[in-house]
Structure 1
Amino acid sequence: MEFRNSFPRLGRRGLLTGVAMGVAAPAVLRAQGNAPIRIGEINSYTAQPAFLGPYRNGWLLAQERINAEGGIHGRPLETLFRDDAGRPEDSVRIAGELVASERVALLGGGYLSNVGLALGDYALQNKVLYCASEPLTDALVWSRGNRYTFRLRPSTYMQAAMLVEEAAKLPAKRWATIAPNYEYGQSAVRWFKALLSHARPDVEFVGEQFPALGRIDAGATSQALERLRPDAIFNVTFGTDLLNFVRQGNTRGLFEDRAVASMLTGEPEYLEPLGEECPDGWIVTGYPRDELNNPVHTALRDAYRARFNELPRCGSIVGHDTALAIATMLRQANSTDTEAMVAAFEGLRYPTGYGTGEVEFRALDHQSTLGAFVGRTKLQGRVGRMVDWRYADGARYLPPDEQVREWRPRQN
């Protein structure tokens, strides 16, 4: 396995914040004294705790380090965390309260794609900056993209393209799909089918299953997939849905002599709960935390373990990176004026906690070039691990610029 670390050499504190402090505070921010810069963070904490508990910890770790080093030109960051319970309508209501009553400078967060889209629409209508952490729907930056919305994580298109690169090498010709029945799952399936069909015109998709999020009937779903007699399966379920699907699929022999490509399954928050039921050989996107030993990531992993008495998960990196990207933007903007922050975010580069180098928020569509790791699942002892992995740089898995311009609304 080859790993190239292009991250600049910094001290331990610099490795975690990624930004050196200036000698003198710029006048625009200094004029406001030492008042905290408030960020409104909205997420589905009670609905998706496996990812979002570690996410919040990662965010706090970054914020504590930033503030320990002097904050943003002398002003500390303060984050107001709010729970939308996985409901788009609640996220919009909370956003309004944070902006109007709490006077936050910007919004961040979002996990479910439908929630992210609701927050993106709110940002556009109210001209408020929104840095989306996790929502993976492509619509957030393309068909429904706007001037005020930016996204950190690689999208469904990007992660589907990463998996297709490996899936196209398989002899499998008959594919079936399973995904949660909402924007994220529908988008992931749509792009996987389109991209794999382009790479391998000889494949056919013989059927699909779209169980409701969090309410999968895994036994019936496994039986339905088995009746299709596919050579391979594309899976987009996660969390408890994934656990139930794997359990029932193992019981019914669904995965025997059958390839599986699976989005997000290599992330520790979803892989580790599978325990001894972890299937071998699935092609996955994820986060090989225990084997990722470059200096930047090792420093973050050690600091996280010292602070929270546990190892980070993928959510931890996402939370950490979101706070770090926002801090980098604020230093560059030299202001909490929305238009100044938007201008600073366009083309912004920050060093990811993965230690794989700098990530850019593209001015073209506000999508970051953060990548993901692609590898295979393997049961090691009683725990599933991600092995034979490589880092897939997000910049390599985006559609051509002219295609993005066609998709993205011109008025924004």
Structure 2
Amino acid sequence: MTSRAAWISRMTASLTVSLTLSLTATAAFAQQTIKIGEINSYKAQPAFLMPYRNGWNLALDQVNAAGGVLGKKLEVVSRDDNANPGDTIRVAQELIAREQVPLLFGGYLSNTGLALTDFAKQKRIFFLAAEPLTDKIVWADGNKYTYRLRPSTYMQVAMLVPEAAKLKKKRWALVYPNYEYGQSAVATFKKLLKAAQPDVEFVTEQATPLGNLDAGATVQALADAKPDAIFNVLFSADLGKFVREGNTRGLFKDRSVVSLLTGEPDYLDPLGAEAPAGWIVTGYPWYSIDTAANKKFVADYQAKYHDYPRLGSVVGYAALMSIANGIKKAGSTDSDKLAAAFKGLHVDTPFGPITYRPQDNQSTMGAFVGVTALKDGKGVMTSYRYIDGASVQPSDAEVKKLRPAE
């Protein structure tokens, strides 16, 4: 053998050994970790979802620092779905086939959440819907493999209706994004308020394209209807446009507003000094909740990110902690075992302990209901109280009618 041939032979052998060692190390690492697939609309909805990602990353650090789950570290493999249900399914398939994740969590918009709910049913893979609010996820489209963390549209509207009824306003206007979440929120509000106040009238409905609000036309249409009060379901950039145009045109002057989600700092803080005062809202006044669980969460979050948490941060944190607890209880990442373990699962969250109801796979996480005010040039929540999600869920008999048999 020539010296060149011998050199080539030695190099080939060396590369083969290196590649083998690399593959062995990769396989060993994989065996020591539990991969979890996460899907969300980060580019489309950064105000909520960047803090959300920070939240689950904080929980991931804490779980792994404590030794992981079942003797293994957790590893999250995250993908962006461009807020498109088709892309949601594409990346879900990729996570399962290429990354070989045994379970999924995430979701933001109701339409992408419903796409993942159906995917979980068809593929028989466990899915925790962290944020999507549509009732269909746990009722009409509910299935064995899908659970939901955040209080549903029905639950959050049910928290607000008693406050709306106390206003004793007869003529109500409704404004909402024209897709599943907005439609179901308004339907529930009309149903529950009518039951609480039979003489109420709904004088106009403005259903707007999600992310493409024509604020001038919408505000003018609401003003023309001359309502006594407004129920608002807009959020994110649409909320900002609505508030600014409404302030400019005097829509909110001497008029009550009940507004879903507006007290969440993810949406309230970007409004700055334009934030409305006196609106009845759901939200997260992180700065003044004096519970041990919230204070610890805020301190841990600020220590890691040098920033304050938003509602998205709580959702992300509680979602990852739910999955860690579920895997531990199941003793496995098998979807059937996880689905069984999540029934009645207890999880400690920044809002306090929650339980995943066996009846409909919905958690009992609640929300804070209060009134907006301006303080130091920004919006805050005052006069708030925490409403346990268990207190605003339908009865077992009602759920049985709403949810298909498994």
Q: Same fold (TM over 0.5)?
A: yes
User: Residue 378 of structure 1 aligns with which residue?
Assistant: 373
1:314 equivalenced with 2:324 (yes/no) = no
* Distance across 1 between alignment mates of 2:234 and 2:210: 8
1:137 equivalenced with 2:130 (yes/no) = no
1:257-336 to 2 correspondence within 5 Å? 257-336=254-333
User: Residue 394 of structure 1 aligns with which residue?
Assistant: 389
Aligned-pair CA distance for 1:210: 0.8
1:4-403 to 2 correspondence within 5 Å? 35-354=32-351, 357-403=352-398
User: Residue 405 of structure 1 aligns with which residue?
Assistant: 400
Asked if structure 2 preserves the Cα contact closer than 8 Å seen for 1:34 and 1:74, the reply is: no
Asked if structure 2 preserves the Cα contact closer than 8 Å seen for 1:34 and 1:76, the reply is: no
Aligned-pair CA distance for 1:338: 1.2
Aligned-pair CA distance for 1:34: 5.2
- Larger Cα-atom Rg: 2
User: How big is each residue's C-alpha offset from its partner over 1:188-242, in whole Å with a ceiling of 9 and x where there is no partner?
Assistant: 0010111100111011111100110110011110000000100000000001100
User: How big is each residue's C-alpha offset from its partner over 1:376-400, in whole Å with a ceiling of 9 and x where there is no partner?
Assistant: 0001120000110000100000111
* Distance across 2 between alignment mates of 1:33 and 1:332: 22
SS in 2 for 1:47: coil
Counterpart code for 2:323: I
Aligned-pair CA distance for 1:278: 1.1
Aligned-pair CA distance for 1:135: 0.3
* Distance across 2 between alignment mates of 1:39 and 1:136: 22
SS in 1 for 2:372: strand
Counterpart code for 1:368: S
* Identity across matched positions, percent: 56
Counterpart code for 1:202: D
Runs (5+) with no aligned partner, structure 1 = 1-31
Counterpart code for 2:381: M
* Distance across 2 between alignment mates of 1:327 and 1:409: 28
Counterpart code for 1:360: T
Aligned-pair CA distance for 1:105: 1.6
Aligned-pair CA distance for 1:186: 0.5
Aligned-pair CA distance for 1:344: 0.4
Considering Cα pairs closer than 8 Å and 6+ residues apart, tell me whether 1 or 2 has the greater RCO: 1
* 1:95–1:33 Cα change, 3 Å: closer
Aligned-pair CA distance for 1:309: 1.1
SS in 1 for 2:231: strand
User: Residue 12 of structure 1 aligns with which residue?
Assistant: none
Give me the CA root mean square deviation.
1.2
SS in 1 for 2:208: coil
TM-score by length of 2: 0.92
* Distance across 1 between alignment mates of 2:125 and 2:332: 14
SS in 1 for 2:166: coil
* Distance across 1 between alignment mates of 2:246 and 2:201: 22
Runs (5+) with no aligned partner, structure 2 = 1-28
Asked if structure 2 preserves the Cα contact closer than 8 Å seen for 1:55 and 1:317, the reply is: yes
Out of 46-55 and 332-341, give the one that drifted further.
Answer: 332-341
Counterpart code for 2:382: V
* Distance across 2 between alignment mates of 1:337 and 1:111: 25
Aligned-pair CA distance for 1:171: 2.1
Asked if structure 2 preserves the Cα contact closer than 8 Å seen for 1:179 and 1:236, the reply is: yes
Asked if structure 2 preserves the Cα contact closer than 8 Å seen for 1:33 and 1:75, the reply is: no
